[in-house]
C-alpha cells in the first residue's frame, strides 16, 4: 500500500472512532459530575461553618430538642403508717417470726393488749419513721429500728440508773466516742437527731465487724469486747441466737435483748394477722432537720414562730438541757416537716422574735419582782428551775406547790405559788 492510501485509511479509522464516541455520549442520562478528592468532601470545621451561616450561604440545621430531665417529685410531708410498716418489713430478715419460745413470750408481753400496743406504736411512729429513713440510707438491717423500743420505747428524755440516757440509752463514753457533744448546757444523747446518728454509726461499725445484726445488737447491749471474747471462745461456726443462748457466756439480759427484737419484728411484720389494730388511714408526720444558723434563743421561740406545740419542740430537741440554743451548741433542729417546709426566712424570723422577747431592764431586783404574798408572776425567759433557784426552793417543791411536773410548760404572766 502506498503512503497516500495508508494516510487515508488512518483518517477514516479516526473519524469512525470519534463518531462512535459521540453517539455513546448522546445516549447517557446526563453529564457525570467529576469525583472530588476525599478532603474536599469533608464537612467544614466549626469555625468555617459559622462563617458560612453568617454569609448566608446555607441555613443551619435545627438541633433536635434535648428533653429536660423530669422534675423530682416533691417530698411528701406526711406518709401513711402502712407505708412505714411496709418499708420496715422490707428491711427485716425473712425469718422474723422464727425466734423460738422466748420471742413468743415477749410477743405476749408486748401485745397482751393489742389495742394498747397499737396506741404505743402510733405514739412513736414519727420517730420510728425518722430512724427507718436513716437505716434505709445506710442500708442497715431494719431490726435496728426496734432497739429504741427495747431501750426506752422511743422516749428521748429517758434516763436509766448507771448513766445511760436518751431514746438509744447511750452511756457518756460511747456517746462521745461516736461524736455526741456533752457539755453543761447540751447533751446530745437526749437529742433524737444526734443520738440516732451516733447510735447508727456505732451499730454500722459493729455490724461490719461481726457480720450479723444479732451479734451487732448483742454488742450494743453488752459491749463490743464481751461479744468478741465470746466469739473467740466459741471455737466453731457460730449462729447467734437469743433462744439457744449463742454465743455462750453472756448475761441473760443480752439473750433476752435479741428475743425482744425478734418479738417486735414478728408483731410488726404483719400486725393485722395478730389483731393489732393499726388503722390503714393513719398518717405519720415526717421530721426534717432545720438549720437555724447563728440563732441564739429559746426553743419556745421556735415553737411560737412555727405555731408548734412547745412540748413537742422540746421533746424533739431535748439536747438543749435548759431549752436554749447558744453559740456553743449545735444550731440545727429536728422539727415536723410541715411546719418548717418552705421557710427559708426562718433564721431571720427567729432572731426577730428573740429580740422582741428580751425583757425591759428593771431597777427592782429580780428575786423580788411580783413575789409579794408568796406568789411569782412568770416573765419572758423564765424556767421552772431558774425560778426555784432564784427563790431558794427545791425544784420538786415548786412543782408540788403548783401541781406541775418536770414536763410542764410555763408562760409569761402565769402566777406561781412560792409557799403554801
Catalytic residue IDs: 151
Structure-block grid coordinates of residue 336:
415536723
Distances (CA, A) of 69 to 63, 76, 111, 392: 18, 20, 48, 66
The C-alpha atoms of residue 270 and residue 291 are separated, in whole angstroms, by 37
CB 338 within 8 A of CB 77: yes
Write out the three cell numbers for 412: 409569761
Report yes or no: 353 and 301 within 8 Å, Cβ to Cβ. yes
- State the angle between helix axes of 100-110 and 252-269 in degrees (0 to 180), rounded to the nearest 10: 70
Check the CA dihedral 197-201-203-208 and report its sign: positive
Query: How many other CB atoms are there within 10 angstroms of residue 275's CB atom?
Result: 10
CB hemisphere CA count around 8 (13 angstroms): 5
Question: How far apart, in whole angstroms, are the C-alpha atoms of residue 159 and residue 174?
Answer: 15
DSSP string, 106-171: HHHHHTSSHHHHHHHHHHHHHHHHHHHHHHHHHT--GGGGGHHHHHHSS-TT-B-TTS-BTTTTB-
CA distances from 380 to 276, 297, 383, 410 (A): 45, 12, 9, 10
Give yes or no for a contact between 269 and 92, defined as CB atoms under 8 angstroms apart. Answer: yes
Cell readout for 182 is: 456533752
C-alpha cell at 181: 457533744
**What is the C-alpha to C-alpha distance for residues 389 and 394, in angstroms, rounded to an integer?**
7
Phi and psi for 248 in degrees, rounded to 5? Answer: -75, 165
What sign does the dihedral 171-174-179-182 (CA atoms) show? positive
Report in angstroms the alpha-carbon separations of 162 from 129, 171, 178, 206.
29, 8, 19, 23
Amino acid at each position: 500500500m502506498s503512503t497516500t492510501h495508508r494516510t487515508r485509511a488512518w483518517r477514516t479509522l479516526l473519524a469512525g472512532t470519534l463518531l462512535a464516541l459521540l453517539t455513546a455520549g448522546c445516549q447517557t442520562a446526563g453529564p457525570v459530575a467529576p469525583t472530588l478528592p476525599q478532603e474536599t468532601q469533608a464537612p467544614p470545621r466549626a469555625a468555617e461553618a459559622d462563617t458560612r451561616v453568617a454569609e448566608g450561604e446555607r441555613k443551619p440545621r435545627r438541633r433536635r430538642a434535648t428533653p429536660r430531665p423530669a422534675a423530682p417529685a416533691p417530698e411528701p410531708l406526711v406518709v401513711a403508717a402502712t407505708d412505714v410498716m411496709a418499708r420496715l418489713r422490707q428491711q427485716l430478715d425473712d425469718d422474723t417470726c422464727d425466734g423460738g419460745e422466748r420471742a413468743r413470750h415477749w410477743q405476749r408481753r408486748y401485745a397482751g393488749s393489742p389495742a394498747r400496743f397499737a396506741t404505743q406504736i402510733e405514739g412513736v411512729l414519727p420517730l420510728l419513721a425518722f430512724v427507718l429513713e436513716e437505716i434505709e440510707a445506710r442500708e442497715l438491717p431494719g431490726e435496728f429500728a426496734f432497739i429504741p423500743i427495747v431501750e426506752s420505747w422511743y422516749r428521748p428524755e429517758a434516763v436509766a440508773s448507771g448513766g445511760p440516757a436518751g431514746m438509744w440509752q447511750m452511756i457518756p463514753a460511747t456517746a462521745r466516742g461516736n461524736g455526741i457533744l456533752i457539755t453543761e448546757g447540751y447533751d446530745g444523747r437526749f437529742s433524737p437527731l444526734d443520738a440516732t446518728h451516733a447510735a447508727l454509726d456505732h451499730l454500722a461499725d459493729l455490724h461490719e465487724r461481726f457480720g450479723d445484726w444479732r451479734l451487732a445488737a448483742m454488742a450494743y447491749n453488752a459491749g463490743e469486747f464481751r461479744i468478741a471474747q465470746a466469739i473467740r471462745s466459741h471455737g466453731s461456726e457460730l449462729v447467734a441466737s437469743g433462744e439457744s443462748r449463742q454465743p455462750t457466756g453472756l448475761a441473760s439480759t443480752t439473750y433476752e435483748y435479741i428475743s425482744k427484737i425478734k418479738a417486735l419484728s414478728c408483731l410488726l411484720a404483719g400486725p393485722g394477722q395478730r389483731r393489732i389494730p393499726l388503722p390503714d388511714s393513719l398518717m405519720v408526720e415526717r421530721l426534717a432537720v432545720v438549720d437555724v444558723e447563728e440563732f441564739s434563743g429559746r426553743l419556745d421561740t421556735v415553737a411560737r414562730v412555727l405555731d408548734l406545740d412547745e412540748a413537742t419542740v422540746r421533746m424533739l430537741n431535748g439536747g438543749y438541757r435548759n431549752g436554749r440554743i447558744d453559740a456553743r451548741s449545735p444550731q440545727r433542729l429536728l422539727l415536723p416537716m410541715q411546719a418548717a417546709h418552705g421557710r427559708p426566712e426562718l433564721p431571720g424570723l427567729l432572731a426577730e422574735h428573740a429580740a422582741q422577747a428580751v425583757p425591759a431592764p428593771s431597777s427592782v431586783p429580780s428575786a423580788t419582782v411580783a413575789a409579794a404574798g408568796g406568789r411569782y408572776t412568770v416573765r419572758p425567759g423564765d424556767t421552772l428551775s431558774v425560778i426555784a433557784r432564784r427563790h431558794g426552793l427545791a425544784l420538786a417543791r415548786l412543782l408540788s406547790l403548783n401541781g406541775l411536773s418536770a414536763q410542764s410548760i410555763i408562760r409569761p404572766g402565769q402566777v406561781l405559788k412560792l409557799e403554801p
